[in-house]
Amino acid sequence: METRLFGAYSGDPILTDDFFERRKANFNGKARRKRTNVHVSSHIYRQLCLHDEGFELLKSESRLELYANDIKQRPTNCITIAETYEIKEALWALANTASTENGYSWFVNKDLLADFLRFAEECQNLSVRG
């Protein structure tokens, strides 16, 4: 998903397989390609949070609490690709949860905003936006 989104927004593919290298637009004075449209399906956690029953199910049967604890305890210097994938997974799931009324209340009660900001400001290996 990340690769498709990058290509759609930048007009260029990722130039390397090295996960930690900054992405570079292939701009050598020529006009960029037109942006393409990419459909991003709604995250299942977000969909469940739209309804009270789904949110209760999510809290009791998912990794939501584990993700919250992981974000709070993990340092921002992801060393390995596996660590980076794990933290991206947690950030993506929690952000989608917080995008709903039920999820936002839970997110605020768990005091996760400071941890999200910590990753956005300090982590050199992740591109955290919005």
pLDDT band at 119 (very low <50, low <70, confident <90, very high): confident
Q: What is the pLDDT of residue 23?
A: 46
Average pLDDT over residues 10-29: 51
The tens digit of pLDDT for each residue in 38-54 reads 666 788 999 999 999 99
The tens digit of pLDDT for each residue in 66-118 reads 999 999 998 888 778 888 888 889 999 999 999 999 999 999 999 999 999 99
Give the pTM: 0.69
- Written as one string, the DSSP assignment of 25-53 is ---SSSPPPPP-----PPPHHHHHHTSHH
Nearest to 83 by CA among 94, 71, 95, 93: 71
